[in-house]
Chains A and B, each alone.
Chain A
Amino acid sequence: MHSTAQTHSLQDMRQQAAIAAKVFIQRDYTNGTVCQFQTKFPSELETRIDKQQFEETVRTLNNLYAEAEKLGGSSYLEGCLACLTAYTIFLCMETHYEKVLKKIAKFIQEQNDKIYAPRGLLLTDPIERGLRVVEVTIFEDRSLGR
């Protein structure tokens, strides 16, 4: 096998470590069509991660998505400006939503690096799953089996 000093990629990780299971956090529609995920702690993760930690992650994600879809002065301004410029403004500018999505991607990466990867878990950015689910991949935990 190649040395661990090389940069690992997501593919590498998947191929090296066997995937034990995948848990899917579904969307929570109780507030309507806004993008929110269920904060219920899945039972499969009980042995791997702290409940509070996980719920905190999901809650922060929910807050970020709420921020993206928030109706307020700035979003209206952006909408009106876009309409006046016949939406050509988006050729050079990013929409507010896209900016927040970038923030979310960074947040997930950060969480993976700091919290989830050391526990043999991997969060997939919901945008890669069409904002339907938060996919949590559980890898076989070999570190404990030493």
Chain B
Amino acid sequence: MLHLRVAEPMRECEYSQISTRSSTPMETPYKKRIPKRRKWQAFPGRNKFYCNGRIMMARQTGVFYLTLVLILVTSGLFFAFDCPFLSMQITPAIPVIGGVLFVFVLGTLFRTSFSDPGVLPRATPDEAADLERQIDVANGSSSGYRPPPRTREVVINGQTVKLKYCFTCKIFRPPRASHCSLCDNCVERFDHHCPWVGNCVGKRNYRFFYMFILSLSFLTIFIFAFVITHVILRSHRYGFLNTLKDSPASVLEVVVCFFSVWSIVGLSGFHTYLISSNQTTNEDIKGSWSSKRGKGNYNPYSYGNIFTNCCAALCGPLPPSLIDRRGFVQLDTPQPITPTNGITMYGSTQSQSHMAAATPLLQSEPVILTDEAFLPGRTSLGGPCSGALPLGGHPTPPTSTPNLSCDNDMLPLRNEQSDGLRHHHTDGGHHHFLTPEEAPSPPGMLPCGSPLGHSHTIQGFYNPASQDSLHEDSVRGLVKLSSV
């Protein structure tokens, strides 16, 4: 007879995670049957992981490599061609300072690109069900085709802030969090998605990002100034044309630095302003706390003075990663559920404000979820891919699940378009305006006729309900068409 005496056994017990129920203690059935997977392998967002989960980046990393190449090549040319002359003529401190700056730039770049920006893990099925129940109670029974937007209001330091429900992650987003459509994650204190660093910039890596652009500004100005000095000094001695012959790289460096200086220094200035007023790029663009919105509108998160705001942003405590990428998947722990089909995309309409400064043509990364990761029994499919992942590998398996239709011929078209559109708008200093709410542009989505698109590179099903980060007017009509 099953009889659980709650009082005594529980007091003696240790909350160990490993089951000790097997009759032969030496043999643990779990380990034999199913290989232990790490959580990053089952991660639902669209991120890439390297070094067994230690490194985390966005899916599109092409521009990051461009950034790296630009920095390495320009600095390399500087050290190779200009520094010998400068160190002899002026002082050897020049290459030393340059070297320190260079190392600092690379360090902060890697730190920004490889760390978790502050991704919020998705809700477990129980949590999501509980929230749904609460929402239904609050709204009454669902009112037909379009349920009302799910929002909660909270008063923070005297300002009313609306918390929006994220259909993808099944949570009410904390204040200042936002859902990045490129990475398909909710990120805390979301600033923007930066293609140049190949990652989102959020709570956990904002300070590294700021240090990166600041040190890069100094490095760019430094190289620019000293290359010009080099050319001038050399020209005095050997003539201008000879100088160009002896040191052709200097021209390239000057050109790269000249164009970079404007954008990088401008960006640093902008972010310095944001830090001192404790705002995110997202909030600034939307004008959430600007006095133009209303008389009593102020930023409830600001500490009041610039110094405290700066210290808090740059030297405050570094919160830990909430997603625990290198932990092992516990087979009994609840996995985040797949977003349900059939809910019309209505979601957070307010988040799609029309940002005048943002590039009008939106990047068309399709909002497709890696839902396959969460089908029950999915862990057994991890076999072929759970081995070492090559650079650029994606953790979910390439095989399609039987209940998805394959639209392989359509998807490459969409990919090309999306890549083209994205790179189109990442030149100059405007990249930081690629905020999460920018939706896939309609042309990019048209080829995806069937809602259940599947490809070898993009997994999951096209879920109308999940696209709460898309522009309402441009996409909703399309969604209705395709979600039928």
- Which of A's residues lie within 8 Å of B, judged by CB? 1-2, 4, 6-14, 16-17, 22, 24, 26-27, 29-33, 68-71, 75-76, 78-80, 82-83, 86-87, 90, 95-98, 101, 109, 112-113, 117-120, 127-133, 135, 139, 141-143
Alpha-carbon distance between A82 and B211 when the two chains are bound, in angstroms: 13
The answer on a CB contact under 8 Å between B13 and A7 is yes
Give the chain A neighbours of B319 by CB distance below 8 A.
Answer: 69, 97
The answer on a CB contact under 8 Å between B6 and A120 is yes
The answer on a CB contact under 8 Å between B315 and A79 is yes
- Which of B's residues lie within 8 Å of A, judged by CB? 2-11, 13-21, 103-104, 107-108, 111, 120-121, 123-124, 126-127, 130-131, 154-157, 161, 163, 171-172, 174-176, 188-189, 207-208, 211, 300-301, 308, 311-312, 314-320, 322-323, 332-333
Alpha-carbon distance between A70 and B17 when the two chains are bound, in angstroms: 32
A8-B10 CB under 8 A given contacts A87-B111, A95-B317? yes
Give the chain B neighbours of A30 by CB distance below 8 A.
Answer: 154-156
Alpha-carbon distance between A83 and B211 when the two chains are bound, in angstroms: 9
Shortest Cβ distance from B211 into A: residue: A83
The answer on a CB contact under 8 Å between B156 and A32 is yes
Instruction: Give the total number of A-B pairs whose CB atoms are below 8 A apart.
Output: 157
A2-B21 CB under 8 A given contacts A10-B15, A133-B127? yes
Q: Which of A12, A33, A76 contacts B311 (CB 8 A)?
A: A76
A12-B14 CB under 8 A given contacts A4-B9, A75-B315, A143-B4? no
5 other A-B residue contacts (CB within 8 Å) besides A8-B13, A129-B121: A24-B126, A120-B6, A139-B6, A142-B3, A143-B4
Q: Which of B111, B174, B318 contacts A95 (CB 8 A)?
A: B318
Q: Which of A1, A70, A71 contacts B2 (CB 8 A)?
A: A1
Alpha-carbon distance between A24 and B131 when the two chains are bound, in angstroms: 9
In whole Å, how far is B24's beta carbon from the nearest beta carbon of chain A? 13
Alpha-carbon distance between A71 and B208 when the two chains are bound, in angstroms: 18
Give the chain B neighbours of A24 by CB distance below 8 A.
Answer: 126-127, 130-131
The answer on a CB contact under 8 Å between B6 and A96 is no
A132-B127 CB under 8 A given contacts A78-B317, A86-B104? yes
Of B6, B163, B208, the most chain A CB neighbours within 10 A belong to B6
Closest 3 CB pairs of A and B: A79-B315, A8-B13, A130-B121
Give the chain A neighbours of B16 by CB distance below 8 A.
Answer: 7, 9-10
A117-B322 CB under 8 A given contacts A29-B161, A129-B124, A132-B127? no
Shortest Cβ distance from A17 into B: residue: B4
In whole Å, how far is B201's beta carbon from the nearest beta carbon of chain A? 16
Give the chain A neighbours of B15 by CB distance below 8 A.
Answer: 9-10, 109, 112
In whole Å, how far is A10's beta carbon from the nearest beta carbon of chain B? 5
A79-B19 CB under 8 A given contacts A97-B319, A143-B7? no
A7-B155 CB under 8 A given contacts A12-B19, A16-B4, A142-B3? no
